[in-house]
Amino acid sequence: MRKRVVMVTGSAGEIGQALIETFAACGDTNLLTLDLRPLPPELEGKSIHIVGDILDDSLLGRLVTEYEVDTIYHLAALLSTRAEFTPELAHRVNVEGTLRLLRLAAEQSEWQGQPVRFIFPSSIAAYGLPDLETKARDSRVREWDWNTPTTMYGCNKLYGEMLGSYYSTNYRQLAADRPVMLDFRALRFPGLISAFTVPSGGTSDYGPEMIHAAAQGKPYACFVREDSRIPFMAMPDAVKALLDLAAAPKAALSREVYNVTSFSLSAGEIRDLVLEAFPEAQITFEPDLRRQGIIDSWPADLNDNPARRDWGWSPEYDASRTFHDYLIPNIRERYR
Ligand code: AKB
């Protein structure tokens, strides 16, 4: 008999590692994790980990002969800055990879006779505001506002959302016998900040990089202007959002894609919070005009009312708790 599992792609990444820790702490889920890289030693044994590529059809084929997939957290992606340097590779991983996982979930749903849940982290990169005046005016964007991304990653995420919607509502719409379809749910995340991992390849990375550099006594030159403002979220809230959305009753959901956010800070405000904890920190601002352009096109804040209303989304970490209770003590400990 095939083993029933929850599958996590991109599991060696920032969200993946935090998700594995959370599942392992509950102890009642068989986790099948997949990534190009092995997991860090502290996560070994907490999942059945496969080192492999989501673009490898024969690997995916082999996995479904051995496992019955209950839910997929499809986290594998190339982030926004990295994707601008390798746009075609980003398209392959972010779009073709997502398509392959959606097809796997569609086949599993049909074979099991019940919908496989497909949880997809999207991003504020799905938005593209045309200028700073609009960004200041339309500060709390709704899901359907400004879906005009300027980056390859943003285009990939927006299209990934649309593909997920297609597979969950219109897949094989002309077939005489409509299959059982998958259950697609997506979150548009703000910039995420973890105390335990440092991001790579993103454009919102200046937030976490500033904090991790200060804790190590390293100078940090922030690549965006002091007044640059985007929303952020602490990693424990990101994991909570994924799990809460996955657990929500289908009937409560009025949409497939939900904004979620916690707090919004300018780069200068992050610097001030970092200086409170690390008064010796050397933080300067040396904007890189190209990366600045990406941040300027992302919203200053998100309207997450539908998530609050439909499935009770409520972050547990505001800016103060994120810094004082989560980031500063854990990061201090990490670099001690
Ligand atoms: C990035 O900067 O690319 C990501 C994101 C906001 O999705 N952190």
Q: With a 6 A CB cut-off, is 191 part of the ligand 1 pocket? A: yes
| d(CA 291, ligand 1 centre) in Å | 12
Place of tokens 């009642």: 28
CA-nearest residue, atom 7 of ligand 1: 123
Q: Domain 3-191+233-259 carries which CATH code? A: 3.40.50.720
Q: State the CATH class of domain 195-231+264-299+317-334.
A: alpha beta
Residues of the chain with CATH 3.40.50.720: 3-191+233-259
For 20-25, which contacts have Cβ atoms below 8 Å and span 24 or more sequence positions?
20/46, 20/47, 21/46, 22/239, 22/243, 23/47
Model pLDDT, residue 127: 98
Average pLDDT for runs of 10 along the chain of length 336: 96 98 94 98 97 98 96 98 98 98 97 97 98 97 98 98 97 91 98 94 96 96 98 98 98 98 98 97 97 98 98 98 96 92
pTM: 0.97
| d(CA 268, ligand 1 centre) in Å | 19
User: Amino acid identity, residue 5?
Assistant: V
Q: With a 6 A CB cut-off, is 80 part of the ligand 1 pocket? A: yes
- Residue 234 backbone phi and psi in degrees, to 5: -75, 145
Q: Output b/e per residue, 20-46; b: 16+ Cβ within 10 A.
A: bbbbeeeeeeebbbbbeeebeeebeeb
Residues of the chain with CATH 3.90.25: 195-231+264-299+317-334
| d(CA 75, ligand 1 centre) in Å | 12
CA-nearest residue, atom 6 of ligand 1: 191
Angle between helices 328-335 and 206-215 (to 10 degrees): 50
CA 88 – CA 156 distance, rounded (Å): 11
Q: With a 6 A CB cut-off, is 261 part of the ligand 1 pocket? A: no
Q: Token pair for residue 108? A: 């599993």
Model pLDDT, residue 74: 98
Model pLDDT, residue 331: 95
Q: Which atom of ligand 1 lies at the shortest distance from residue 153's CA?
A: 3
Q: Which atom of ligand 1 lies at the shortest distance from residue 199's CA?
A: 8
Model pLDDT, residue 155: 99
What distances in angstroms separate CA 81 from CA 61, 116, 181, 284, 288, one per listed residue? Answer: 32, 32, 34, 21, 12
CA-nearest residue, atom 1 of ligand 1: 202
| d(CA 205, ligand 1 centre) in Å | 7
Q: With a 6 A CB cut-off, is 151 part of the ligand 1 pocket? A: no
Q: How many CA atoms lie within 13 A of 246 on its CB side?
A: 20
For 211-217, which contacts have Cβ atoms below 8 Å and span 24 or more sequence positions?
211/270, 211/274, 211/327, 211/331, 212/331, 212/335, 213/281, 213/283, 214/274, 214/275, 214/277, 214/278, 214/281, 214/283, 215/278, 215/331, 215/332, 215/334, 215/335, 216/335, 217/280
SS (H, E, C) 193-236: ECCCCCCCCCCCCHHHHHHHHHHCCCCEEECCCCCCEEEEEEHH
CA 317 – CA 297 distance, rounded (Å): 25
| d(CA 230, ligand 1 centre) in Å | 11
Model pLDDT, residue 178: 86
| d(CA 84, ligand 1 centre) in Å | 12
Q: With a 6 A CB cut-off, is 153 part of the ligand 1 pocket? A: yes
Rounded (5°) CA angle 281-292-288: 65
Q: With a 6 A CB cut-off, is 124 part of the ligand 1 pocket? A: yes
